[in-house]
Structure 1
Amino acid sequence: MESKRQARKPLDDATNRVNQTPARTEAKKPVRWDKASLEQYLDVVGLKGSARKRVFNYYTGNMPPAPRTSTTGPTLESAGTQPANTTKASTTSNAKAAKAATGASSSRKRKAETSLSLEDEIAAYKRNLDDIVDPDSFDDEIMPNCTTVRGRINKLFDGGIMTKAEFCRATGCNSNSLSNFLKAKGPMGGCNSSVYANGWRWLRQREAAGLKMPDVKKRQLQEAKAAGAGASGSKSSITTAASLPDISGIHLNGEEADSVSVYDTCDEIRKKINAHLKTPGLTQAQFCRDLYAQLNAPTIKSIQSKQLADFRAGKGSRTGAKSTVFYTAYVYFEKLRIAQGKPKSKHRETMEEIWMSRGGFDRDMDHRTYCITSSDKGMYWDQYGLSITYPL
């Protein structure tokens, strides 16, 4: 026991050793800049006026040093300076100077970003980035679920950033695989599709390169406002949500009982919806409210965005014919056509010739309706919603 105590004897003086005063270290003096280099740096960050003068005086030795301030942008401290402690007044002045430098730099960056036209921004987003970011570098990352990827791909198409053909060429997928993946439902629907993996890699490439998906509606709305402000009272050619005509005073036959005769197919209404949703400033939520307003004897509380999405995802002249979205969208676009004074399309005139004697397009039959034919014949719906039989 005695030998163990002697072995631990050096710990008896631990308190004294802990309480020893650490050696003093002299504060580093700030690195001085030569005037030419400093002038060049201040030109780069865009610092001007009194803030430029204060920063210049400080870093050329004409001003007492100040504590180092923490900023998020490009400051002179990041170039290797180490200011020491000083008075409160000098701290405030240099903090303001650093903030001014940061603000000027970020302002220049924002101006540079917004100087690109919408077309150039879209072209930059769509370009091949394989020479910058290797798409195989994301193989070890956890992929988001199919619903998330599907939503981002649909956003590309809805915004007019890419066509489906362009997306297929960019990702190496075929149109059938893309259509099947977009029709799939749920977070795991389409998880085995090549569109899921290739599409996510393509989108992830742009994230890694620091490219954000262009907000087409927002940019178009900004351009419309700018065009309207600079037009000196003349009307802008760009249609926005605020410039859409009021259709509340327009009445259609059969509207009171929600039985307006329809002369458009589901596919045609889908085209109109997709084009209408590109209107700057128009949201899907607002469009759903506009559709619900066309019902005079509603049997539902509202039209949800999911109902709109389900209808838009369909394909076929009768796919979605029983949907409330189909009927209300037809009424809405017919009123909008009348308010804008536009003529009927060729498709609309053909539909009237076919369906006028039948009281309009039959909304009691959709893609889920079973039809009985003879064993030697098959049946399909043509582009006008008519049932066509053919020999097997």
Structure 2
Amino acid sequence: MTSDGWSWSPTRALATFNPNIVPLAARPGLASNALPRLEDWNIPSLGGYGNRATPPSQSPTDENAAPGFGNGDKMPATPTPAPVAAKPASRKRKSDVVEINEELFPENVEEIDSEDERLAPTRADTCNQVRRKIRNWTESGAMKIGQFQDTLGVSPKAYGSFMKRTGTWDGESCDTYIKACAFFKKRELQGLPLKASKPKKPKTAESTQKAAELFDVGEVSLPREQSNKVPIFDTCDEVRKKIRALLAKDGVTQAAFVREISKTFTDDRKVSAANLRYFMGRKGVIDGNTNITYYAAYVFFEKQRVKAGKPKTKFRDEMEKAHKGGGVDTEHSSNAPMFMSGDEAAHIDKYGIIHIVRRR
């Protein structure tokens, strides 16, 4: 207890803020037992230094000056933050990204329910074949691995376990194998690509001119063209091969190709992008034979051959002999049901002709 009635000395405590403080009794007009006010001692309050907005002036040479900056000091300049390194710009053009997205995930595509019997496991692809499809899909940039895992509904651990295996059928009971089979089968049925295509080079005047020359077949006419009955002597797989080769050329787009082959018909029929996707998603000698893309594309490539003066290939001659001049059937689907006896089976040869053979 101090002489002023305090259990602790306010003078001593306040001196920690300002060493120039003198005893309370030495202040005229201030009773010795009165509580000190912050305004009397120049102590910072929530609103500043007493009634002043700034601290009292102190000389930087005064040994009793509190740490800080006096009247002669200048506040140091605010340090300039280091510039943030800019992220490298993507090399893909926006038009490339949009085109890839439209190609891989188009809006106007056939809806296939997950319970569709066509997606049931058939063991048509081995585990190694499915692993190869997965790598082609992710490495082409169609999806990131994490996105693909989420799409399938499998965990990273389950996905990694399947992908690390190497045997032909090693992993056939894994969820990743079963769900990936259904994923790729669905895309095949919808006629969608199983990997992202490489972005094409920007169009130039030269590439545009070459594309225009490729499509310029209007002056060539074929027998029975006016009645839309030109006989076809190419298999569906062969026509698909020619389409892929043409679309890989600089300046050639799917939209332009669809427009050009639609000119084949003398009636109101038009080939759509959906028709093209469906046909390109088929696999087999005559799988897709009733799709209008098959007929229109064949006529277009036949006109190209005639315009260029190229001779018929050996296989073309064999096709004509096998089909006896009538061409491949485009009216009846190769997948249509057939009635056979119990000891018979259907076989399609390399020319697209169906043979009924007896089982041994």
* TM-score, normalisation: structure 1: 0.47
Matched, 1:15 2:47: yes
Moved more, 247-256 or 321-330: 247-256
8 Å CA contact 2:347, 2:356 repeated in 1:
yes
1:178-231 per-position Cα deviation (integer Å, ceiling 9, x unaligned): 98754323999xxxxxxx9xx9xxx9xxxxxxxxx853x317x67x95xx9xxx
Shift of 1:334: 0.5
Cα 1:331–1:140 change in 2 (3 A) is closer
Shift of 1:276: 1.2
Matched, 1:380 2:350: no
SS at match of 1:380: strand
Correspondence for 1:183 among 182, 185, 188: 185
Q: Within 2, Cα distance between the matches of 1:261 and 1:70?
A: 69
Q: What letter is aligned with 2:356?
A: T
Q: Within 2, Cα distance between the matches of 1:306 and 1:379?
A: 30
In proportion to residue count, which structure has more helix?
Answer: 1
Shift of 1:273: 0.9
Q: Within 2, Cα distance between the matches of 1:187 and 1:312?
A: 10
Q: Which runs of 5+ in 2 are unaligned?
A: 1-36, 39-43, 56-68, 92-143, 153-162
Spell out the pairing of 1:210-289 with structure 2 (5 A cutoff): 214-215=198-199, 217-218=200-201, 225=206, 240-244=210-214, 246-289=216-259
Q: Within 1, Cα distance between the matches of 2:83 and 2:338?
A: 74
Q: Within 2, Cα distance between the matches of 1:187 and 1:28?
A: 64
Q: Within 1, Cα distance between the matches of 2:223 and 2:150?
A: 48
Q: Within 1, Cα distance between the matches of 2:277 and 2:239?
A: 13
Q: Within 2, Cα distance between the matches of 1:304 and 1:258?
A: 18
8 Å CA contact 1:240, 1:279 repeated in 2:
no
Which structure: larger Rg?
Answer: 2
Cα 1:171–1:324 change in 2 (3 A) is farther
SS at match of 2:76: coil
Shift of 1:139: 7.2
SS at match of 1:389: strand
Cα 1:262–1:370 change in 2 (3 A) is same
CA RMSD in angstroms, aligned pairs only:
4.8
8 Å CA contact 2:265, 2:296 repeated in 1:
yes
Shift of 1:288: 0.9
Q: What letter is aligned with 1:334?
A: E
Q: What letter is aligned with 2:322?
A: I
Q: What letter is aligned with 1:320?
A: G
Moved more, 364-373 or 170-179: 170-179
Aligned residues: 227
8 Å CA contact 1:182, 1:313 repeated in 2:
no
Q: Within 2, Cα distance between the matches of 1:171 and 1:317?
A: 33
Q: What letter is aligned with 2:186?
A: A
Cα 1:387–1:335 change in 2 (3 A) is same
SS at match of 1:330: helix
1:56-89 per-position Cα deviation (integer Å, ceiling 9, x unaligned): xxxxxxxxxxxx9968669xxxxxxxxxxxxxxx
8 Å CA contact 2:233, 2:319 repeated in 1:
yes
Cα 1:354–1:339 change in 2 (3 A) is same
8 Å CA contact 1:262, 1:361 repeated in 2:
yes
Q: Within 2, Cα distance between the matches of 1:245 and 1:362?
A: 26
Correspondence for 2:271 among 298, 303, 317: 303
Q: Which runs of 5+ in 1 are unaligned?
A: 1-8, 31-67, 75-104, 110-137, 147-168, 189-195, 204-212, 229-238
User: Partner of 1:62 in structure 2?
Assistant: none
Identity %: 27
Spell out the pairing of 1:94-109 with structure 2 (5 A cutoff): none
Shift of 1:28: 6.5
Q: Within 2, Cα distance between the matches of 1:333 and 1:289?
A: 14
Correspondence for 1:330 among 289, 298, 309: 298
* TM-score, normalisation: structure 2: 0.51
